[in-house]
Copies of this chain bind each other. A is one copy, B any other.
Amino acid sequence: MPKIIHIITPIITKGVRSLDDVAPLTGSNLEFRHSILDKGPSSIESEYDEALSVPDTIVKAIEAEQNGADAIIIDCMGDPGIKPVREVVSIPVLGPAETSMHVAAMLGQKFSVVTVLDSVVPIFRNLACLYGVSEKLASIRSINMPVLEIEKQLDKTQEMLVAASLKAVQEDGADGIILGCTGFLGCADKITAHLKSEGIDVPVIDPIPLTVMTAYALATVGLAHSKKTYTPPRKKLIVGY
């Protein structure tokens, strides 16, 4: 039986993510499902946006597990809601930032994140700290491109990602690059090629495919998050949710 990976894109904007994006990964053992939010922000570019994305992400995650998912991926590099969602479900819940940072740490000594806006730089620094990989973080560089502009300005985005990645390697000492927004899906190959043409052979991580395959790995070997740390919440009166 195939493993069902449920991707929650924690925004209300339709069309930003489609399952076509991960179709190349689908095989006889892997099936995808997808949700976006009914309530929440149209994109995530701040702690404020994240905060408003979490309550409905929790709802969608509970539904995903009830509908038979084997693992959940939160499709945003802020990994919003990853901790409360792990409390309310028993299947593995993966964030692309956490997964990419740990894999980058395995592929080299120091990674850099190249991301959308200055406003999310502090978020990545906090995540690196929480995930225990601060000493593996070379730098965080932003290209000042709002999330919902990426697709509209794809060529410019890719050029700027190449430039930021080059600086990360040459000035900041990175030996690996993490694309710091799941909206950059599909840009890794072009960046890798450009870096190689400059004689730089470092991994460029496209977070969603990597996270999907890592979720598949965990589901296959039967590992999930520690319930000692992610204890199911006690029942209590809650108003408004």
Contact = CB atoms under 8 A, between A and B. Distances in A.
Nearest to A137: B132
Contacts of A98: 106
A234 B84 contact: no
Contact of A118 (B48, B55, B136, B231): B231
B228 A200 contact: yes
**Within the oligomer, what is the number of copies of this chain?**
6
A22 to B, nearest CB: 11
A70 interface: no
Nearest to A50: B84
A16 interface: no
Contacts of A18: none
Interface string A98-120: 11001101111100000000110
5 contacts: A46-B233, A130-B130, A176-B226, A200-B228, A213-B216
Interface of A: 12-13, 25, 27-29, 37-43, 45-52, 54-56, 58, 81, 83-84, 86-88, 92, 94, 98-99, 102-103, 105-109, 118-119, 122, 125-126, 129-136, 146, 169, 175-176, 200-203, 205-206, 209-210, 213-214, 216-218, 220-221, 223-231, 233-234, 236-241
